[in-house]
Amino acid sequence: MPLVPPYIESLEPYKAGKPIAELQKELGIRDVIKLASNENPLGPSPNALKAMIAATAELNFYPNGGLDLREELARQYKLRTENVIAGSGSEGIMSNIIRAFLCDEDEVLTSDGTFIGFYVLARSRGVRMIAVPLKDYHFDLEGIAARINDHTKIIYLANPNNPTGTIFTRPEFDHFMKSVPSNVLIILDEAYFEYARDNPSYPDSMHYRYDNVITLRTFSKVYGLAGIRIGYGFAHDLLIKNLLKVKLPFEPSTLAQAAGIGALQDPEFLHRSLAVNAAGKRQLRDGLREAGFNALPTEANFFCIPLASEADAESLFQYLLRQGIIIRPLKAFGLPHCIRITIGTQEQNGRLLAALKNRT
Ligand SMILES: Cc1ncc(COP(=O)(O)O)c(C=O)c1O
């Protein structure tokens, strides 16, 4: 037996969006902007920061496993604490789902062109993964349903999807759920939920309460807390009970939990973030069109733009880097001819659009 199992050996370590400090050093300039990782351009929720500072006095004690945040979420969503889990980002909870529920002979089923984090977690468990092609840059729920078999254990859906920004609709989801056996677990990743929830055709998974669906949400995006690692999930008691068995006992950290609770009590920041995103979405949509780009419709805080070729995507990425603007080429997501641009502040969006227009 080799020391490293083949399914680990074949993995590539995750490459995050290029950090600002790295590009500043490379270019010798100071005003680099990062529109690469769907982070909140307004910074973190001020109330979350206040809550974290207050929590520092207790850092000599071990955390309580996210209990306070679970109780607060249960209160806000009118659930029982037994239906809520908190973890180190929604990806941390996803990792626990993989550990808790997958056996060697199980299969996972998802789409091409979705969140890389899920592919990595599934591959690192060494199980078979089936990825159904996107249909016009949308999840093909019918195509996914058609691939369910006796070995299917987990189906991963992201709504809105990263990196396309597209959603599947209520009727599509209703129809899909009719084909899913009750012993197949659906991970419904709603990392961008807050940006999409006012769209009447968006299926908010919490309206359904299926026993085999785990809803995952995060404080990383609209609450501006990607760096502290705090996310949460909602599901049937039985699923949560088993997730709690495999979770690291002391995640989330005391500061992460405090940040989450502080953020939940910061509706002003939530509304401001959504308003800035909505205005930025209009600004970029119109500006991109004027600059000759056909962005996909988005229900999140980023745009996905298909270009003519992989070479075009790479050369636009490199050009923008030289202008001090970091965006995300999507080769690693299986969409090599596409780029993704996070919606920034009005000023950041303006700088991006000016750079695109000045390109000869
Ligand atoms: C669809 C999706 N799910 C999950 C995550 C990870 O979120 P978290 O920071 O809560 O782990 C991301 C982050 O980009 C994402 O786009």
Pocket probe for ligand 1: among 98, 120, 218, the residue whose CB has the most ligand atoms within 8 Å is 218
What predicted TM-score, i.e. pTM, was given to this entire model?
0.96
| Token couple for 308 | 């003519």
What's the pLDDT score for residue 360? 65
Nearest CA owner, ligand 1 atom 3: 191
What's the pLDDT score for residue 89? 98
Please say whether the beta carbons of 250 and 62 come within 8 A. Answer: yes
Q: Mind listing the pLDDT tens digit for each residue in 296-344? A: 999 999 999 999 999 999 999 999 999 999 999 999 999 999 999 999 9
Phi, psi dihedrals of residue 158, rounded to the nearest 5°:
-115, 125
Pocket probe for ligand 1: among 94, 159, 220, the residue whose CB has the most ligand atoms within 8 Å is 220
Whether 147 shows a pLDDT value over 80: the answer reads: yes
- Round to whole Å and give the CA distance between 163 and 305: 10
- Beta-carbon contacts of 177 under 8 Å, excluding residues fewer than 6 positions away, are 186, 208, 210
Question: What confidence category does residue 292 fall into, taking pLDDT thresholds of 50, 70 and 90?
Answer: very high
Please say whether the beta carbons of 299 and 166 come within 8 A. Answer: yes
Q: Are strands 338-342 and 84-87 parallel, antiparallel or unpaired?
A: unpaired
**Mean predicted lDDT score pLDDT of the chain:** 96
Q: Mind listing the pLDDT tens digit for each residue in 208-232? A: 989 999 999 999 999 999 999 999 9
- Round to whole Å and give the CA distance between 116 and 332: 8
Kindly give the distance from the C-alpha atom of residue 26 to the centroid of ligand 1, in angstroms, as a whole number.
28
- Round to whole Å and give the CA distance between 317 and 295: 15
- Round to whole Å and give the CA distance between 123 and 88: 20
Q: Mind listing the pLDDT tens digit for each residue in 7-27? A: 899 888 877 777 888 888 888
Q: Mind listing the pLDDT tens digit for each residue in 109-146? A: 999 999 999 999 999 999 999 999 999 999 999 999 99
Whether 252 shows a pLDDT value over 80: the answer reads: yes
